[in-house]
Amino acid sequence: MTGFVNPRTPDDEPIVGRDRPRLDSTMKVTGRAVYTVDIEKPGMLHAKVLRSPYAHARILSIDASAARSLAGVTAVVTREEIIGLHSYGTYVKDQPIVATESVRYVGDVVAAVAAVDERTAFAALDLIRVEYEQLPAVFDVRAAMEPSAPAIFPDQPFAAYPEYGDGASGAAHTAHNVSYEFRYETGEESVWADCDYIFEDTFTFSRMNHMHLEPFATVAEATANEIEVWTSTQSPFPMRKELARVFGLPENDIRVNVPLLGGGFGAKNGPKTEAIAIRLSQLSAGRPVRYCMSTEEVFLTLSQHDAILTVKSGLKADGEFMARQSRVLLNGGAYADASPLVAEKAGYRMPGAYRWKRIDSVCQAVITNSVPAGAYRGFGATQATWASERQVDLIAERLGFDPLELRLKNTKELGEEFVPGETPIDSDLKHGLILVADAIGYRDRTRLSNRGMGVAIGIKDGGGVNKPAQARVKVTTNGDVFLNCALVEMGQGGHSALCQIVAETLGCDPKRVRYAAIDTDNTPFDQGTNASSGIAVMGHAVRQAAERVKCSVLDTAAEHLMLDRQSIRLDDWTIVDAEGTTYELPPLIMERFGGTGFEFTADGYYKARSASSAPLEAPCIFWEIGWAAAEVEVDPETGRVELLQLVVSGDAGKVVNKLGCRGQDEGAAVFGLAQALFEELRYDDGELLNGEALLYRVPLAEDIPRRFSSITQEQGHGAGPFGTKGMGEGGMLPIAPAIAQAIADATGAQLTSLPMTPERVYNGIRAARVRHGGADGNA
Amino acid sequence: MRGQKLGAGLIAQSQSALPPFILHRPTSLGEAVALTRQHPEAVIAAGCSDLVAQFREGLEPEVLVSVQRITELRAISNNSGVLSIGSGVSHAEGSRSPEIVSTVPALAAAWGSIATVRIRYRGTLGGNLLSRRYRYEMPVILSALGGQMQFHGGDITALPVSSLWERDSLWDRSLGNVGILTAVTVDTASLLWFGYERSMRPVSTVSLAVRKNPVAGLTVSAVCGSEYRQPFVLSHAAEATDITELDPVSVGQVLAAQLPDEAGDYAGSIDYRRHLVGVLCGRLLAEATGNQRKG
Amino acid sequence: MSLESPESNEETLTHNVEFELNGSPERHCVPTSATVLDLLRNSCGKQGVRASCERSVCGACTVLVDDLPVAACSTFAFDVDGARVETVEGLAAQDGTLSAQQQAFRECGGFQCGFCTSGMLMLTTALLRQNPQPEREQIREWVSSNTCRCTGYEMILESVERAAELAGAKQQDQVSE
Ligand SMILES: Cc1cc2nc3c(=O)[nH]c(=O)nc-3n(C[C@H](O)[C@H](O)[C@H](O)COP(=O)(O)OP(=O)(O)OC[C@H]3O[C@@H](n4cnc5c(N)ncnc54)[C@H](O)[C@@H]3O)c2cc1C
Ligand code: FES
Ligand code: FES
């Protein structure tokens, strides 16, 4: 652990607007914010779809003639209307616009209709005849991998995946019904021989829906040669690229507009409503078509990955971690979507926050006849952290260590590398652990019966892999500022934070900076709003653009005023010279550029260096860390868990907006809390039992512990501008493991499955009593 | 979601695309009854908080009779040992009603604990019962109390609340035209104690009433509710003359043992559910034995 | 039967709804099956009323009907005949000055994506009308009527507390003036 460079320290001054409300606050509290669902176009048509009633079936015939001839119907899309168009998917291009030869899950889209109003569209759907031949279906990942299981894709769809660096590899279709497999390996296999103990445990992870309040929605205006969409997507440019591929058009014939998003949490990547709306518009003579899903349809569109994770860890008698092997099966559902990427991350993030001499991870994304799974807040790290952290606690119990001590002993140091070739750890992990532990009084508590505490840490590589970002800043003659970049505002406060970075750089009030509407014709390129990359990656591009604008303003002013360039500075759109004399810029600009004035414009660009020694193409931008501590009280008779305290903490590196950072950690923590205790998509032999808002239980205010708080750390080592790091996902990672350990601490019940329902807790308590040899179970 | 009309798949129907219906908004029960006789297929609407879900599941009314303006349905009375609660009483009104609070306070408390503040203003007793959804609680609460549903204008006049989920009954709507549910009545004269336990919802809820038998002994009736299964009525006749003589733990177990195997579901296996219901009944009885007031 | 409902017309299947919206009278002829959500968003242009679950659960569409919080998606337009309806658009003063609730949600970060915010604000309005100084527990109970997927609720609870404080201060000012 010598020779590492301790990363940057933060600038001392707080960023302008740090303690103020976010810049989008007024429009959101007045109801004036505009989302995709609010977009209306003259002559707009409405789309509705028919979905498969079967989990797996061959489509023998479709007769949509009656639907087509219904008055008010302008277009019907079935497999006939998509001949020649391509399928989509992140790496594996397996999802057609509507089902072609077969349907692969209950809810798969079979046909779509556009009509003058929704009622007519529904009436038309009711006229479509479809003959199916049911096929055997498979829902369980292990069963799906059996050779005897039905092949969900008899012909392997086209797949393209990245070149990995040292130790990592990936491939599509490596086993029966496996869409993608990721492997990572480092260190010598022989390390196992030096271990005094080896433990192997299997964990299961549940599946949630994203439940963003704004559903998937698109308005499309499209002809055979030109496409324009207004759509609720986190990734405008990848969307444009995918649509270009699907429809076989050049990218400059496609324009993607993105209004505000009413939540995303990962769901709004990749086509959802877009391709259907576009195709219907093309067939309706270019009239605008709106396709807005209902919540019930959102449930049938995308979910998180449930998983089975087997982890084997070896350690020395004194508790030193040595070697870890993991085998992870992710349930990817019927179409690959982002499964390959999630598999990559779930496998890669398996070491957790700890030092190992040998790591060997395999993660497979399995195809089943259920709702496709894709990107979801935490992105593979939630699954990995559940298994990784849970096993640390199991081991601590077996060997008689205090779980916190065992963690502190093995946690990586600040600046230590995660794995060879990867970015060094950029937070003091132990500091955070102690911080949250002390916040709930972990270390000096008096033990009360049926009460327990747990502490956990989650870590994920943040900022996206190999991610370029661009931004443009424009300032009008009067000093009104536009920021032009493609970071999508979905609640995270990214627009406000980036505007503040511009304001900080230009020395102006953040209120003067306007985040320009996003459209792919005019907005500079970006790879997508994901991986908590907004500040740490896009922030650099934005800051550079603002710096460049400032430079050209100062250059111009120095020349015009005949002042020494080095002695002047920009403050609130005035030039201040060394003596403190101020010069208003507007008259100066008018004088210099003539009666129409001028706009100073500059572009910024940022991309982290790539390196073949980095396992995933490029070292990550930063490490996103989540620390949590929980206290529970368990009713041993019923297994009911009451969460008494929950403390979550993240490291912002440096805070750009206080409320924004806090909200990210708390929001993420509540996702984790729900996953820990109750929220899940319930499948009973393949049938989704709760795909509906009332039946699908999401957390409400009453589910939040009365003592719930977050601590935003500013450790200052971030690689983003001003020392910032990304936020938004880390807070979710450690919650379920911390609660699980608190339950174990309270009752002895060691749970390995999520959610930790009363029945599981109750059975766990009984098992613990047996394990501990009888009577003293919850003593 | 609803099924497509030709069986070719699922459609995400929404109420805003519902075809318009013939709307009636009677202001008296008499008018309403006449309307339902005239239009036996009419859909009755109260707070509509469940009806919208039914529209999304495919219900398409041609005639809709809104009972919101019928003040008679909002009446609550307590006469000679019979508590009568109008079907149009909202959860908020019911849980604050002086008549209910003074006769069966635990019923008022239980009623005031269901759903959410917003729904409590809107949802009605009648709607909660006749939505025929397993997870709704008024059927569980009122059947332990031996509640009787009073109908008007249909083929029947009165039915016990527990008949809601009896086979060939209201649950599967095979009873024909039930007309309008006007009220639920509860006999309070013989009621010794009532309590409702929903802390384990939706895994299991339990409502429990203890009554004095006409001749001798006590009857303990418990009803177990859950998310995916119909409520189950459990009962125990004890020779005791006084609640305090009941042994909460053993009576709880006797009641829970009556749960049939079908009571197990995704949210709780039958073994766990029997155990849990036993614990919850035991706790309610422990409260009852220490507290012999009604409710 | 026709005498009691002259406002609905059996042949046309439409209904005339007269109500007060944010203090001004409105009259619209809508299909009998129109919901309050349709009425407000489509006929009255109140786009601040959001729709999500359309099933009475999330409360994103919460508006006030005669001071009570109601899910616009699950209430028929005919049910607000003669009622006073309030939406988020009615909260701020004519000159744009934000109401206490709006200020509080801004200040305390009681929103992220903003999709639940209109509903949360209306819920807060109803609560503060019933009880200008609610305790934390009552706020929790009320806020539990609606869903927010972004904030984790703590900052919404704080916003409601702050709204009560701000509204109280305003009242004080008015009294002392
Ligand atoms: C978000 C949410 C949470 C909820 N949580 C709970 C909960 O925790 N516990 C619980 O118990 N319930 C819960 N409910 C249900 C709620 O309490 C209501 O009772 C229920 O939604 C129906 O009431 P309503 O008056 O709106 O009925 P409506 O929707 O108007 O009607 C429902 C059904 O009853 C019929 N009906 C209504 N009145 C009569 C009558 N007088 N005669 C004949 N038929 C009639 C209607 O035709 C319809 O079929 C919840 C509902 C929602 C939306
Ligand atoms: S949209 Fe009305 S309650 Fe969800
Ligand atoms: S702010 Fe997004 S749902 Fe509440």
pLDDT tens, residue by residue, A524-569: 999 887 766 678 889 999 999 999 999 999 999 999 999 999 999 9
pLDDT tens, residue by residue, A390-413: 999 999 999 999 999 999 999 999
Phi-psi region of A232 (alpha: psi -120 to 50; beta: other; left: phi over 0): beta
Cα–Cα distance between A115 and A99 in angstroms, integer? Answer: 21
pLDDT for the residue numbered A463: 75
Tell whether the model's pLDDT for residue B101 goes beyond 90. Answer: yes
The SS3 of residue B194 is strand
Cα–Cα distance between B209 and B227 in angstroms, integer? Answer: 22
pLDDT tens, residue by residue, B103-114: 999 999 999 999
Q: For residue A39, what is the nearest residue in chain C, using CA coordinates?
A: C47
User: In sequence order, which residues have a C-beta less than 8 Å from that of residue A376 and are 6 or more positions away?
Assistant: A208, A210, A265, A266, A267, A303, A304, A305, A342, A382
Checking ipTM against 0.90, whether it exceeds it is yes
For chain C, domain boundaries? 8-88, 100-176
pLDDT for the residue numbered A12: 61
Q: In the predicted model, what is the mean pLDDT of chain A? A: 94
For A79-83, A275-279, A605-609, which range has the lowest pLDDT when averaged over its residues? A605-609
Which residue from B23, B24, B69, B128 has its CB within 8 A of the most atoms of ligand 1, so it is best to mutate?
A: B128
Kindly determine whether residue C115 and residue A214, on different chains, have CB atoms separated by under 8 Å: yes
Kindly determine whether residue A118 and residue B16, on different chains, have CB atoms separated by under 8 Å: yes
In three state form, how does the secondary structure of A654-693 look?
CCCCHHHHHHHHHHHHHHHHHHHHCCCCCEECCEECCCCC
Kindly determine whether residue B16 and residue C35, on different chains, have CB atoms separated by under 8 Å: yes
The closest CB to that of C109, out of A34, A262, A663, belongs to A663
- Confidence band of A186 (pLDDT split at 50, 70, 90): very high
**CB burial readout A310-339, b (16+ within 10 A) else e:** ebbbbbeeebebbbbbbbbbbbbbbbbbbb
Kindly determine whether residue C38 and residue B35, on different chains, have CB atoms separated by under 8 Å: no
Q: How far is the CA of C117 from the centre of ligand 3 (A)?
A: 7
Q: For residue C69, what is the nearest residue in chain B, using CA coordinates?
A: B118
Kindly determine whether residue C58 and residue A693, on different chains, have CB atoms separated by under 8 Å: yes
Cα–Cα distance between C140 and A21 in angstroms, integer? Answer: 23
Element (H, E) at C171: helix C154-176
Q: For residue A20, what is the nearest residue in chain C, using CA coordinates?
A: C107
In the block, residue with structure tokens 């496709």: A372
pLDDT tens, residue by residue, B54-92: 999 999 999 999 999 999 999 999 999 999 999 999 999
- pLDDT above 70 covers what percent of chain A? 97
Q: Which residues pair with A399 in a beta bridge?
A: none
Encoded amino acid at A594, one letter? G
Please tell me the CATH superfamily of domain C100-176, with its number.
[2Fe-2S]-binding domain (1.10.150.120)
pLDDT for the residue numbered A531: 64
What is the rounded average pLDDT of the residues A61-90?
A: 97
Domains, chain A, ordered by start: 1-33+411-463+622-779 (3.30.365.10), 42-136+220-275 (3.90.1170.50), 469-606 (3.30.365.10)
- Confidence band of A773 (pLDDT split at 50, 70, 90): confident
Tell whether the model's pLDDT for residue A82 goes beyond 70. Answer: yes
pLDDT for the residue numbered A555: 96
The closest CB to that of A759, out of B17, B268, B280, belongs to B268
What is the rounded average pLDDT of the residues A171-178?
A: 96
The two structure tokens encoding residue C103: 């200020």
Phi, psi of A424 (to 5 degrees): -65, 155
Encoded amino acid at A75, one letter? A
C-alpha triplet A74, A80, A84: angle, nearest 5°: 110
pLDDT tens, residue by residue, C122-152: 999 999 999 999 999 999 999 999 999 999 9
Tell whether the model's pLDDT for residue C7 goes beyond 70. Answer: no
- Confidence band of C176 (pLDDT split at 50, 70, 90): low
User: Which atom, in ligand 1's list, is nearest to the CA of B125?
Assistant: 19
pLDDT for the residue numbered A653: 93
pLDDT tens, residue by residue, B201-260: 989 999 999 999 998 999 999 999 999 999 999 999 999 999 999 999 999 999 999 999
CB proximity C152 to A under 8 Å? yes
pLDDT for the residue numbered B168: 53
Query: In terms of DSSP H, where are the helices of A290-330?
Result: 295-299
Look up the pTM and report it.
0.96
CB proximity A429 to C under 8 Å? no
Q: Whose alpha carbon is nearest atom 4 of ligand 3?
A: C148
Q: Whose alpha carbon is nearest atom 3 of ligand 3?
A: C148
CB proximity A670 to C under 8 Å? yes
Q: Answer whether C57 contacts ligand 2 (Cβ < 6 A).
A: yes
pLDDT for the residue numbered C177: 53
**Cα separations (Å) of A554 from A475, A566, A572, A590, A600?**
13, 9, 13, 15, 11
pLDDT for the residue numbered C172: 79
Q: Of the CATH numbers 3.40.50.720, 3.10.20.30, 3.40.309.10, 3.40.50.11060, which one belongs to the domain with range C8-88?
A: 3.10.20.30
Which carries the bigger pLDDT value, residue B284 or residue A162?
Answer: B284
Q: In the predicted model, what is the mean pLDDT of chain B? A: 93
Cα–Cα distance between B183 and B152 in angstroms, integer? Answer: 9
Tell whether the model's pLDDT for residue C3 goes beyond 70. Answer: no
A370 burial type by CB count under 10 A (0-12 exposed, 13-18 middle, 19+ buried): buried
pLDDT for the residue numbered A23: 92
Domains, chain B, ordered by start: 18-66 (3.30.43.10), 74-187 (3.30.465.10), 191-294 (3.30.390)
The SS3 of residue C84 is strand
Q: How far is the CA of B90 from the centre of ligand 1 (A)?
A: 10
Tell whether the model's pLDDT for residue B9 goes beyond 70. Answer: yes
- Confidence band of A6 (pLDDT split at 50, 70, 90): very low
Q: How far is the CA of A660 from the centre of ligand 3 (A)?
A: 13
Cα–Cα distance between A673 and A703 in angstroms, integer? Answer: 9
The two structure tokens encoding residue A54: 């079967």
Q: How far is the CA of B50 from the centre of ligand 1 (A)?
A: 5
Tell whether the model's pLDDT for residue A43 goes beyond 80. Answer: yes
Calculate the CA B267 to chain-centre distance.
Answer: 21
Tell whether the model's pLDDT for residue A290 goes beyond 90. Answer: yes
pLDDT for the residue numbered A726: 85
What is the rounded average pLDDT of the residues A385-389?
A: 98
Q: How far is the CA of A216 from the centre of ligand 2 (A)?
A: 16
